[in-house]
Amino acid sequence: MTTEQVTRDLPAVRRGDHGLPLLGRVTAYAKDPVALMRHQWETYGPVSPFPFLGQTFVMLLGPDACEEALRNGDKAFANGPAWGRLVGPFFHRGLMLLDGEEHHLHRRIMQEAFTRDRLASYVEAMHPAIARGVDTWPAGDGFRCYPALKQLTLDIAADIFMGGAVDTSPEEMQRVNEAFIACVQAASGVVRADVPFTRWGRAHRGRRVLEEFLRHYLPAKRAERTDDLFSVLCHIEGEGGERFSDDDVVNHMIFLMMAAHDTSTITTSTMLQHLGQHPEWQERCRAESLALGEAPSLAELEQLTSLDLVMKESLRLRAPVPMLARRAVKDTVVQGVRVPAGSHVAVGVQFSHLMDDLWTEPDRFDPDRFGPERREDKSHRYAWSPFGGGVHKCIGLHFAGAEVKAILHRLLRTHRWSVDPSYVAPLDNHSLPFPKDGQPIDLVRP
Ligand code: HEM
């Protein structure tokens, strides 16, 4: 049979699946994205119609459909018009929003900022900010670790990304933090224009704050080569000597700071939750950390094998980016279903992380499933893809691994903590999934 003969149209939206007028299934997604994905999978299969913000999106679920979209063999899927619609004005011309040749060129230049040597020097520079932050975490019950981690990753970013924002007061940094949050939360805004008191209105103001902040430092960063990411972006060159313009540097910095900030915070807080609920894993990780010095190098962080397993398992259970956006720029076929040009596509990577036929007891916290004897993540190339795949695969994944492990390493040496085994984080899923209750943990200083 030829492909022509087996392709079929996208199924129609069934009665009961239309959601609310204008919003579609936004609220169902925000309430419980995994339940919604499961419903789509069970009702329609890997390629399903999904009413969202006034349009019928195509939702892709399961590792095969996700792989087809992310590998993008026939170049039918574009990022810019997809992410642009969700968060475009705020992430304007960030790497993830570029496509084709332009993306390829910018990615090649940016790769220079993420070489192993550079990562090693970022890791070295991270430790003081981590120590300043973590060492002040007070002993006591109900410590809200999520906002504390958010502050910490912002402070780390100020050092690693900015090289220490020397002229910036703590109040100004707080404004920058709020500006990030406003930009990230724009994704779920219903009013999609610069209107006061709306998510989009706040995000537009946030973008202006971030631009002013970066342009203030730009001349100094151009003038002197230092080890921070901002200066690196000002000076790196592609193989043919291509360099980023001032606008490119500002756009990439804003995107990078946002890409790095929330995702790493979510990952670290999920790990704190599970380590608090599974003391045997906390002890296993602590033993490895105590065997290293206070400020391990990149290579030493890589020896924290138990922490690595816990990180992978935490990313599986709560992917910080559960759904990736794409737009079909030409007619294509996914898993035998026609996806017409112009379709908005949602690639649900989180669902593959929880599928019964890929993982044993997928809802259980069981980091050893990633260990050398089991390697359940090998069940399919796209069984585990919290960092995406294909040409847009996260460029910061090793940076994220190093940052998250450096924070946990410090905390394991300075504190013990516990979390009620029955605790389930109440997630806000309007943008990236974060715990609405600040994720309380009970902290002890040994
Ligand atoms: C645990 C933390 C992180 C997670 C889960 C994560 C996840 C992702 C995912 C899923 C994508 C692909 C988006 C798509 O295909 O549409 C992505 C892209 C990207 N990430 Fe990350 N990320 C993390 C940390 C970071 C960090 C620390 C940085 C920078 C320092 C970063 C920078 C980027 C960039 C620049 C892209 C766009 C790559 C491209 O389009 O070529 N990320 N990330």
Q: What is the pLDDT of residues 275-331, one digit of tens each?
A: 999 999 999 999 999 999 999 999 999 999 999 999 999 999 999 999 999 999 999
331 dihedral zone (left: phi>0; alpha: psi -120 to 50; beta): beta
Summarised one tens digit per residue, pLDDT across range 127-153 is 999 999 999 999 999 999 999 998 898
Q: Is the minimum distance from the CB of 263 to ligand 1 under 6 angstroms?
A: yes
Q: Is 95 in the pocket of ligand 1 (CB under 6 A)?
A: yes
- CB of 388 shorter than 6 A to ligand 1: yes
Whether residue 365 is predicted with pLDDT greater than 90 in this model: the reply is yes
pLDDT band at 205; cut points 50, 70, 90: confident
Residue 406 region, left (φ>0) first, then alpha (ψ -120 to 50), else beta? alpha
* Closest atom of ligand 1 to CA, residue 83: 16
More confident call, 9 vs 205:
9
Compute the average pLDDT of residues 410-418. 97
Predicted structure pTM score? 0.93
Query: What would the pLDDT profile of 53-67 be if each residue is shown by its tens digit?
Result: 888 999 999 999 999
Q: What pLDDT, on the 0 to 100 scale, is given for residue 1?
A: 41
CATH of the domain spanning 84-323+364-444: 1.10.630.10
246-277 vs 279-290: helix crossing angle, rounded to 10: 120
Which ligand 1 atom is at minimum distance from the Cα of 324? 16
Cβ atoms of 324 and 347 within 8 Å: the answer is: yes
Tell how far the Cα of 394 is from the centroid of ligand 1, in angstroms.
4
Higher pLDDT, 205 or 311: 311
Per-residue pLDDT tens digits for 418-429: 999 999 999 999
Ligand 1 proximity of 320 Cβ (cutoff 6 Å): yes
ipTM of the complex: 0.99
79 lines ligand 1 (CB under 6 A): yes
User: Best substitution site from 394, 403, 405 to test ligand 1's pocket, by max atoms within 8 Å of Cβ?
Assistant: 394
Residue 2 has a pLDDT of 46
Residue 227 has pLDDT above 90, yes or no: no
